[in-house]
Structure 1
Amino acid sequence: MKIAFVVGEPSGDAIGADLIRALKGRNPGDLELVGLAGEAMQAEGMTSLFDIDELSIMGISAILMRLPQLLRRVGQTADAIVAARPDALVVIDSPTFSHRVAKMVRARLPEIPIVNYIPPTVWAWREGRAAKMRAYVDHAICALPFEPAVMQRLGGPPATYVGHPLMKEPGLAAIMADPRPLAGRKPGSPPRLVILPGSRRGEIDRLAGDFGRTLARLCEILQGVTAVLPTLARHQGRIEAAMASWPVKAEIVTGGEAKWRAFAEADAALAASGTVSLELALSGIPMALGYKLDPVAYYFRHLVTAWTAAMPNFIVGHPLVPEHFHEFVRPEHLARRMARLLTDTPERHAQLAGFDEIRRMMAIDRAPGEAAASIVLDLIQRRA
Structure 2
Amino acid sequence: RIMKWAKLKGYRNHYYISPQIWAWKEGRIKDIKRDVDEMYVILPFEKEFYEQKHQFPVHFVGHPLIDAIAQRQSVDHTKFLATYQLDDRPLIALLPGSRKQEIKKMLKVMLEMVDQYPKYQFVIAGAPGQEESFYSSYLKDYPVTLVMNRTYDLMSLCHSALVTSGTATLETALFKVPQVVCYKGSSISYQIAKRIVKLDYISLVNLIMDQPVVTELIQADFNKRSLKQELDLILDPTHRNRVFTDYFELEKKLGGIGASEHTAKLIYKDIKK
Instruction: Quickly say closer, same or farther: Cα 1:172–1:259, change in 2 above 3 A.
Output: farther
Q: CA RMSD in A?
A: 2.3
Larger RCO: Structure 1 or Structure 2 (Cα < 8 Å, ≥ 6 residues apart)?
2
Whether the aligned pair in 1 keeps the contact of 2:215 and 2:230 (CA below 8 Å) is no
Tell me which residue corresponds to 1:379.
270
Equivalent of residue 4 in structure 2, options 100, 103, 110? 103
Distance across 2 between alignment mates of 1:372 and 1:114: 13
DSSP 3-state at the match of 1:193: strand
Q: Distance in 2 between matches of 1:326 and 1:342?
A: 23
The corresponding residue for 1:344 is 237
Unpaired stretches in structure 2, ≥5 consecutive residues: 75-87
Report the equivalent of 1:315. Answer: 208
Deviation at 1:203, TM superposition (A): 1.6
Paired residue total: 258
Structure 1's 299 and 279: CA in aligned 2 closer, same or farther, altered over 3 A?
same
The answer on whether the counterparts of 1:197 and 1:204 sit within 8 Å (CA) in structure 2 is yes
Identity of aligned residues (%): 23
Q: Which of structures 1 and 2 has the bigger CA Rg?
A: 1
From 125, 143, 165, the equivalent of 1:249 is 143
Post-superposition offset of 1:170: 4.8
Question: Deviations along 1:17-74, whole A, 9 cap, x unmatched?
Answer: xxxxxxxxxxxxxxxxxxxxxxxxxxxxxxxxxxxxxxxxxxxxxxxxxxxxxxxxxx
Q: Which amino acid aligns with 2:137?
A: A
Query: What does residue 204 of structure 1 align with?
Result: 103
Deviation at 1:370, TM superposition (A): 2.0
Mapping of residues 140-289 of structure 1, within 5 Å: 140-155=39-54, 157-170=56-69, 190-216=89-115, 218-219=116-117, 223-232=118-127, 234-235=129-130, 236-244=132-140, 248-255=142-149, 258-289=150-181
Alpha carbons of 1:294 and 1:139: their partners in 2 closer, same or farther (altered >3 Å)?
farther
Distance 1:207 1:332, change over 3 A: same
Cα deviation for residue 296 of structure 1 reads 5.7
CA–CA distance in structure 2, aligned partners of residues 156 and 198 of structure 1 = 36
Aligned residue for 1:320, secondary structure, equals: coil
Secondary structure class of the residue paired with 2:44:
coil
Which digits, 9 at most, give the CA deviation of each residue in 1:46-105, with x for residues without a partner?
Answer: xxxxxxxxxxxxxxxxxxxxxxxxxxxxxxxxxxxxxxxxxxxxxxxxxxxxxx332243
Q: Normalised by the size of structure 1, how large is the TM-score?
A: 0.62
1:119 alignment partner AA: S
Q: What is residue 68 of structure 1 aligned with on the other side?
A: none
1:78-117 matches, within 5 Å, as 100-106=1-7, 108-109=8-9, 111-117=10-16
The TM-score normalised by the length of structure 2 is 0.85
